[in-house]
Amino acid sequence: MKKSSFIMATVALASFAFGGAEAQAAVSSTHNSENKINFTSGEGVVTPPVNPLDPDNPNVPDPIDESDPNNPGTGQDGPLSIDYVSNIKFGEHKITGQNIAYKAKNANPFVQVTDLRGAGEGWSLSAKMSEFKSGNKVLRGATLAMKDGVVKAGSSSNISLAPTKSDILFDNTESKLVMNAVNKGGRGTWLTVWPGVNQANEAIQLHVMAGTPEANTEYTSSITWELEDAPK
């Protein structure tokens, strides 16, 4: 064992000695190489909807929303696009003599916007809702509230400034601000998700006044989503 220890010490000393010689070596020549990449705007690029619960997860549920199974997305192409908007379902209910707030059936409805312009001018998403109607029958006084939305990036590594979201109350036909991306913000894909319990989502509620519904009648309203190429 003593002989082995002696040999190891000798090797270590030799290595130290050679190392000192290498540290004194001088650089005799240098040259710089270049690396390049060029980008253009995402003109014509169609961004599919992502998983609203985990946007980074490549496994997107099919359907994305069980309460809205026939909605694959808008199919709009870039560079600035609305990629997906949930159709809100409220189901069937018996008429009562009270004012009632009906909760959305959708568990995680969302709206998705993608900005591939590459200039960062910002953008704004607004929406306006028509009256709930069935032919010439109107569900008078009905209002739709969407609150407690959560803004998510399509990729968690997105370093762009996130857009801000707003709670919405559709109580007339005026346009309401939904998301707003300031100058140099909102690049890439962004969502506002209204999370809740399946079949009873408190984040989205339709308020119906007593005395307005008619039996055996399905009322429909449409929301028009407007994406502008500048912030508000």
pLDDT in tens, 146-189: 999 999 999 999 999 999 999 999 999 999 999 999 999 999 99
Q: Which of the four pLDDT bands, split at 50, 70 and 90, describes residue 139?
A: very high
C-alpha 64/C-alpha 57 separation (Å) is 13
The count of C-alpha atoms lying within 13 angstroms of the C-alpha of 112, restricted to the half-sphere facing its C-beta, is 29
Q: Which of the four pLDDT bands, split at 50, 70 and 90, describes residue 24?
A: confident
Residue percentage of the chain with pLDDT more than 90: 89
Which domains, and CATH codes, for the chain? 80-228 (2.60.40)
pLDDT in tens, 85-111: 999 999 999 999 999 999 999 999 999
* pTM over the 0.75 mark: yes
pLDDT in tens, 6-16: 344 444 444 44
- Of 208, 216, 232, 226, the C-alpha closest to 101 is 208
The pLDDT, as a whole number, for residue 10 is 42
- Of 129, 77, 122, 151, the C-alpha closest to 228 is 122
C-alpha 34/C-alpha 222 separation (Å) is 54
The pLDDT, as a whole number, for residue 62 is 92
